[in-house]
Structure 1
Amino acid sequence: MNVVTAVIKGRHSVRKFKPDPVDDTLIRDAIECAVHAPTAMNLQPWLIGVVRTKEQLEKIAALTNHGKFIADAAVCFAIFGERNVKYYLEDCCAATENLILGLHAYGVGSCWVAGAKKGYAEDVRKLLNVPEKYALVSLVPAGLPQDISVASKKDTKKMIFFDRFVQD
């Protein structure tokens, strides 16, 4: 295992945060990780919002149905994609994952909260004053984790196959 695979394997969703702020330099570096994600035809159709005020965090949390903990995060990233770009959803999901891994590499916990296809997506877009040409793809609340834990995962052998799937 190398440092990159260790970061990937060590990442897990965090929903409880310390009240400490997240350093701006770290935020910028994690965003740089996001914008270096793979993107179809290099179109880079994303727009990434950084929400840090308690008032806005609480408003976003209130709009979601599974993200009430956003109110307690130090920061929440809102990843939007240009609706008219064919693969904006895939591209923005790749950017979201890169952002999450970039944060985790600094010890900042986060949790991917669904945005695309959710009833509150348009409300979040309007709240953040994002132009209509963008659609919300994901919300990523982040902060220093209140506690460190390791998430259990399914046995890899049960989730992969080589060359051709064979039913047991």
Structure 2
Amino acid sequence: MSPIGGTVNLGVTVIRSRHSVRKYKDSPVEEKIIKDALDCARLAPTAKNEQPWLFGTVRKRETLKAIADLTDNARFIADAPVCFAVFGKRAEKYYLEDCCAATMQLILALQAWGVASCWVAGDKKDYVEDVRTLLNVPEDYTLVSLVPAGYPEEILIAKKKTLDEVTFFERYEEEE
């Protein structure tokens, strides 16, 4: 049973089981899983169906290390079997929202296959242009997110706020 009644479905189980993972086993992620995750990402909702994204997949160790070295808090990318890079077309008004939706669908598709990941910020970071240049992505795109992924070696579960702490119904009212 679901905590709010009814039967728990696979989608809910995938969402609830997802956690950021930064340590991966030294095992490659299968091509069919990578393609399926990318396919799920491209099917994300998008404003006016613009689909302003470009998805990169990096598996070469030297490129993974180069990306990791450019980041400020994601050195673990160097040890991931694969890293996805989500880029958005700068000229599109809602590229950030659209590419964030695509990033989440990518992450959930990986989770459904038992592949762990960690959303690493791109947008607003100092390394955005350096990663774009490293991966030879056209200038009209900007980095929105990096998603290193692999089979989890270690899972550390962060405490989350309760449902009551983060929700309101109809209108928000301060408690006295």
Q: Which TM-score tier does this pair reach, normalised by the shorter chain?
A: over 0.9
Rounded to whole Å, the distance in 2 between the matches of 1:92 and 1:22 is 23
Rounded to whole Å, the distance in 2 between the matches of 1:132 and 1:143 is 29
Picking from 24, 27, 31, the partner of 2:34 is: 27
- Asked if 1:43 is matched to 2:57, the reply is no
AA aligned to 1:88 is: Y
Offset from partner CA, 1:37-90 (integer Å, 9 cap, x none): 110011100000000000000000000001100000000000000000000000
Picking from 124, 127, 144, the partner of 2:131 is: 124
Picking from 120, 145, 167, the partner of 2:152 is: 145
Match of 2:93 in 1: 86
Point out the structure with max Rg over C-alpha. Answer: 2
Deviation, structure 1 residue 147: 2.7
Check the 8 A contact 2:55/2:85 in 1, yes or no. yes
Check the 8 A contact 2:19/2:155 in 1, yes or no. no
Offset from partner CA, 1:129-161 (integer Å, 9 cap, x none): 000000000000000000345443111111000
Match of 1:5 in 2: 12
Check the 8 A contact 1:7/1:101 in 2, yes or no. yes
Rounded to whole Å, the distance in 2 between the matches of 1:108 and 1:151 is 18
Check the 8 A contact 1:10/1:150 in 2, yes or no. no
Match of 1:64 in 2: 71
Report SS of the residue matched to 1:146: strand
Match of 1:108 in 2: 115
Q: List structure 1 segments (4+ residues) > 6 angstroms apart after TM superposition.
A: none
Rounded to whole Å, the distance in 1 between the matches of 2:151 and 2:34 is 12
Rounded to whole Å, the distance in 1 between the matches of 2:134 and 2:30 is 24
Match of 1:156 in 2: 163
Rounded to whole Å, the distance in 2 between the matches of 1:8 and 1:23 is 21
The runs of 5 or more residues in structure 1 that have no matched partner are none
Measured on the aligned residues, the alpha-carbon RMSD in Å equals 0.8
Offset from partner CA, 1:9-36 (integer Å, 9 cap, x none): 1100000000100000000001111011
Aligned length: 168
